[in-house]
Amino acid sequence: MSAQIIDGKAIAAALRARLGDNVAQLKIAHGRVPALAVVLVGDDPASQVYVRNKARQTQEMGMRSIEHKLDVGTPEKALIALVQSLNVDPDVDGILVQLPLPKHINEATVIEQIDPAKDVDGLTEASAGRLVLGKPGLRPCTPTGCVLLAQGVLGDLTGKTCVIVGRSILVGKPAAHLFLEQNCTVTIAHSRTKDLPALCRTADILIAAVGRPQMIKGDWVKPGACVIDVGINRVDAPERGAGKTRLVGDVDYDEAAQVAAAITPVPGGVGPMTIACLLRNTVLAACARMDWPVPEGI
Ligand code: GUN
């Protein structure tokens, strides 16, 4: 058997198209569009690419993109002052501080300054607390993307067993709560878990978020499972020529695809959903802040 490939690119594009329609409706109804402020400190090339993509996709959806690019030597105090000014700016609905920040800046201190109502990354303690307590709030983007992809394949997730390999603050822990919200039976596995392959084989939905290239093998996968691979690892690819590299996930894709019913590729699976969910959060933040009804279907 060969698994259905979950086309994250296409699913993200469809979500962005729906959001674009919603933004157009909001503009007609309320005379303004949601605005996302992105703050980039320094000139890390990967971060520059991410920020450019976020700004482009924000504008393509008809929303307003506000970019703040700060010098690598910007003091922490100045960054905090900028975040505080965005918090009180009535024209800003969402704030994203691109990570990683330069070494002299404490990331947690800066993130904690973001008004939870504008925390479109879902990274503040208030957002995390609201998720754990089952209260409404802005949810982290990558784990939300995982839930949307699983729902795209399986529909209602009620009663499914979900094993999440990895307990990071950015993915594993919030993913556990998000799948729990969908009435899944959730287990979080990590480096100290006993007999990890056997545990993974119990999963209807297997989420791989460990950051170890191709760690999860085909015989760890339950036949018919839905496998969602969050890992993005660059590995040497001598078969492509001397010095060449390629991206692989945390799952041994070729093996797992022989066993699973559905699987995300890397790249082109979870990755595109992360930015789409950021744009979705920006629309949701604008609706909550402005007391607008949340549009249908997002
Ligand atoms: N750097 C890489 N991915 C992300 C993300 O999703 N959010 C933020 N703030 N920084 C990132």
pLDDT digits (tens, 9 = 90+) for 130-141: 999 999 999 999
Is the model's pLDDT at 118 over the cut of 80?
Answer: yes
Distance, in Å, from the CA atom of 67 to the CA atom of 59, rounded to the nearest integer, reads 12
Residue 265 CA, ligand 1 centroid: distance in Å:
20
Q: pTM score, two decimals?
A: 0.96
Mean pLDDT over 275-295 rounds to 96
Q: How far is CA 80 from CA 41, 106, 291, in A?
A: 12, 11, 27
Secondary structure element (H or E) that encloses residue 22, with its range: helix 8-30
Distance, in Å, from the CA atom of 109 to the CA atom of 46, rounded to the nearest integer, reads 23
Is the model's pLDDT at 295 over the cut of 90?
Answer: no
Q: What superfamily in CATH does domain 31-115 come from?
A: Leucine Dehydrogenase, chain A, domain 1 (3.40.50.10860)
Is the model's pLDDT at 243 over the cut of 70?
Answer: yes
Residue nearest to ligand 1 atom 1, measured at CA? 99
Say which residues have a Cβ less than 8 Å from residue 113's Cβ, sequence separation at least 6: 80, 83, 84, 87
Residue range 141-271 in CATH 3.40.50.720: yes
Distance, in Å, from the CA atom of 193 to the CA atom of 146, rounded to the nearest integer, reads 22
- Grouping H, G, I as helix, E, B as strand and the rest as coil, residue 290 is helix
Secondary structure element (H or E) that encloses residue 176, with its range: helix 172-181
> Mean pLDDT over all residues of the chain?
97
Residue nearest to ligand 1 atom 3, measured at CA? 99
Tokens describing residue 136: 């409404």
Domains 31-115 and 141-271 equal at CATH topology level: yes
Percent of the chain predicted with pLDDT > 90: 98
> Is the C-beta atom of 119 inside 6 A of ligand 1?
no
Spans of all domains in the chain: 31-115, 141-271
Residue 122 CA, ligand 1 centroid: distance in Å:
11
DSSP 166: -
pLDDT of residue 298: 83
Residue 170 CA, ligand 1 centroid: distance in Å:
9
Secondary structure element (H or E) that encloses residue 246, with its range: strand 245-248
What positions carry a catalytic annotation? Answer: 54, 98, 121
pLDDT digits (tens, 9 = 90+) for 254-270: 999 999 999 999 999 99
Q: What is the position in ligand 1's atom list of the atom closest to the CA of 141?
A: 6
Is the model's pLDDT at 145 over the cut of 80?
Answer: yes
Tokens describing residue 60: 């393509």
Distance, in Å, from the CA atom of 280 to the CA atom of 20, rounded to the nearest integer, reads 10
Mean pLDDT over 17-31 rounds to 96
**pLDDT range class, residue 108, cuts 50, 70, 90:** very high
Taking the CA atoms of 171, 177, 178 and 180 in sequence, report the sign of the dihedral they define. positive
Pairing of strands 226-229, 205-208: parallel
